[in-house]
Structure 1
Amino acid sequence: MFFGGTKDSTVPVNEVVVFDLATKTTSYLPSMGKSRKDVKIAEIDGYIYVIGGVASEFSTFDKEGLDLQVYDVVERYEPKSNRWTTMAPMLTKRRNHAVNTWEGKIYVAGGINQDSQILNSLEIYDPKLNKWTMGQPMQCRRFSFPIVFYDGALFAFGYEVPGERLDLITQKWSNLSNTQDWRTAVVYDDKIIMGGVVDSTYEFNPKTNQLKQLNFKKIIRSSESFLVPKALVSIFPPKESTKSITDYPITIVALGPSLPLTNICTIEFYHPLEDSWAILSKIELNVTKEYSAIYSDKKIFIFGGINRTTSTTGKIAYSHCDEVISFDLLTKEISKLTPMGQKKENVGVGKIGEYIYISGGKGINGTIYDTVERYDPKEDAWTFMAPMLTKRYNHAVNVWEGKMYVAGGNDYGYYNLLSLEIYDPNLNQWTLGTSMKSKRTKFSILFMDGSLFAMGGNYWRGDDYHKNHGEKLDLKTQTWTDIENPIRDSLWRSAVPFDDKIIIYGDEHQNYEYNPETNELKEKNPNKVNRFSAILLLAPMI
């Protein structure tokens, strides 16, 4: 991701550009609030912080030349909502500074202030408090340099002065015996890889204080950045399937919005027996997010959603969709079908017999629906059925013994629901079931061994938000019991049963196998596509 910079080396911009390392495609995100260059970037808990920088204007000059505006501004980007938020400003305006993160906090060091003075100050940002505090200043003033954390210490390198390290326990700085003009550095294994001006590259061993020159870079740069992705699964997957989707009688298909948001839906399939992923196809939709899908007769049916457009000024516009398409897993043929009766997002989908049922959803002007539409794939026709007892969207749906179960979701005011209702297609009638213990939205329900499992999502129970990640209903006793999630930070979105296990898909690249008998959760190979609100579908291919 590229933030800001200058156009024609003069005019600062607020553009944000994304380059996909896997597809080698470029896309644009909503622009930052401030046009600036020489910003620094940090990432914590999925949020991206753009810190400081400078705006240069060639329209005004003073006696000394160019008039510069140095910023203390901090803006936070949330990829899931695709929005920017202005956070608490730094204590000092600075550009050409160094930034890194440690234990959930952002450290900012050095740089140049509004008066063109080189700084040695260190300040620390706590995102939970949205507050900056001063840290222990460096011994040397520096700009255009890197800082990295390694083995309980903060290392500051470069700008033609010796490096130094801060012991994070004693809060004391000590000198390092090196003077190279290093501009960027990353930790790799037990070494620090550093890039200097022109084409030089070095490897520094913090334990021995030895510096080793590496092969020269192929491109000469005056300023550069080294990046180490946390996961390169979209480029170098841990294990990729070499088989086709038809090599197993049952497979699991994954789809859903990917980051950054585009109209391209990447469909991949997973073989649990091999623990391997493979991309099946990429299809273009008229929507970017909040669509729903179901598997039926070797096809994936996709319903509704939201299309998002961004103007040249960065203004975002949303429009709901009633479109229905089918994607043939074997022929990869895409077909446009008769649209739904209403334009809406986040509908629930269930299949009983030969019919597909669409329930609820959110439409234009925030309208929440209780409507139910039945789709006949043979006739490509829709029929309105009896409405649900509660208006809802972002709810979970599954089918058991010829009846459709609908649970949770959001109602008016975005309040999460814990209610469960059951639809009997023979009577065209809804009845209330036993409510869940936790209010949930964007989650999954599934049936296994006489129980209904409610897995993950966003939910609320009293004052304990995200206390647990699952619960199950004994269908005989009609009582719910909690399922504790051993991996607390994972956010489950979609789940399907496979043999005697449950395959769970979380946000981004998270993939797990859950054993209901032992309550054990096993992390599996990550998928290839970075998603949020993912959709998993069980796909019998025989």
Structure 2
Amino acid sequence: MDGSDFIYLNHASCTMKKIQEHLQNQQLCDVVIIAGPKRIPAHRLVLSSVSDYFKAMFNNDVRESHEEEVTISDVDADALEKIISYMYTGRLEMSEENVERVLSTANMLQLHPVVDAGCNFLMKQLHPSNCLGIRAFADLQSCHRLYKEAHVYTMEHFTDVMRNQEFVMLHFNQVCELVGSDDVNVPSEMTLFEALLIWVKHSEAERKQHMPELLSHIRLTHMSKEFLADRVQTNSLINQNLPCEHQIIAAMSYHMLPARRPCLKPPRKSTMGHLYAIGGMDNSKGATSIERYDVRINQWTQIAQMTGRRLQFGVAVLEDKLYVVGGRDGLKTLNSVECFNSRTKTWSVMPPVATHRHGLGVAVLSGPMYAVGGHDGWSYLNTVERWDPQARAWNYVAPMSVSRSTVGVAVLFDKLYAVGGRDGSSCLRSVECFDPHTNKWTNCAPMSKRRGGVGVGVCGAHLYAIGGHDAPASNQMSKLSESVERYSPKTDQWTIVASMSVPRDAVGICVLGGHLYACGGYDGQSYLSTCESYDPQSNEWTKVAPLNTGRAGAVVVHVRNLL
């Protein structure tokens, strides 16, 4: 006869209930845990089974292993009693009042499930008024996950945190850590200067000695010269402190002598503003979404829609407004201009350009925006129009020497550059620049490669030509490029720099925080969602978060913080 195993599914729970009854009746208890005024009867076997701390105590050759009474010092008696009860029941009540005492006791007893539960409880309680305290507690208890969550919360909500009591109670070194962080989320450096004053003034006599070092963590050159002169330099904590005065003079010199600007710290991630990727060609033959990139969290988020399909258009940014100029809707070339208000996320219609244009470049030079080249549906264009905001009209300025469509346009040292593009017979190597004071275009040194659909960006003192294609008009098989070259107006020379990871035609290029970002494009097979950023200091490209929609010909622009 075959045997069979009998399994009683409620064995464990029934057994624990019996053990609880033994505890309640104080039967077979073999140890009393003493903490402060409390005497807590228990069973060594139960304590050892749940807690590694008690397991080590009762199973090694130490005095406590055979004593009937064991005293535990430096522990909260109420929390210990609750935890010993938990060891029998698996149930533990946590509240705002007891969670830290329970968690620290559980941590000592090596009860990891209780520690995790306490950390989760505190994460849900995070608030600007308590996050610094929770962060400090987590650090003391070596609760790394809780520490990280509290730190991230502190960084994210710093403008509220700095107005709470915990902030002014911080040690000097902790304040330096916060105001010096690249990850602190503030609308501007002015906010951090205000935080510094709040902390110092809480105990001014004792803390004002720290002003020079605290001020060194504020990125003064990223403040406006008006704020520096009117609010910083006039502050008594600054103007009565010579080392602080020297820092302010250096920052003011930066604003007064731009040609002598040294290599300085970039703006903080939160004060850099955002990249906007607008429209482009996607698998549905025309992306109408607008995505915004936040460098702090390395993420693109869709924030708005265009009013309709529009391809090969140009975009300029003026006072946080995005002006979308020309393009084509798939059937005809457009001369219409629309304005997107990035604050209200609303669209308005603007006066049209005089010439219908797609494949144009748009940039802002010394105030006005310019619409450069393109194609009107019949022919390639060398004409250029400038927006006059007073007259609310577009006027022609001097034409380029060459007709250019899919042209790269950028501004460097108060001159407008037109780079590459197509002239109807081939892609172009040629480059020319426009001086608004003389109303003349001047030829510059040509690029090493012909580049239609080229992406152009300005970083530091250089102009960059990125990606694009080289195809004769009679041959639709383009040679796509991942190569990048850099132009110096001082030497009138192009230099090859590090290539992108993949070829990108019709790539969106923009600068953010001293890095060039290459977004999307076409690699010969698909519309790309991938993005990468270039560091001019290391001459290296690094992958960043991808767009939500793969697209080529998207215009990528920088919009500063909305203060």
TM-score, normalising length: structure 2: 0.48
Higher fraction of strand = 1
Higher fraction of helix = 2
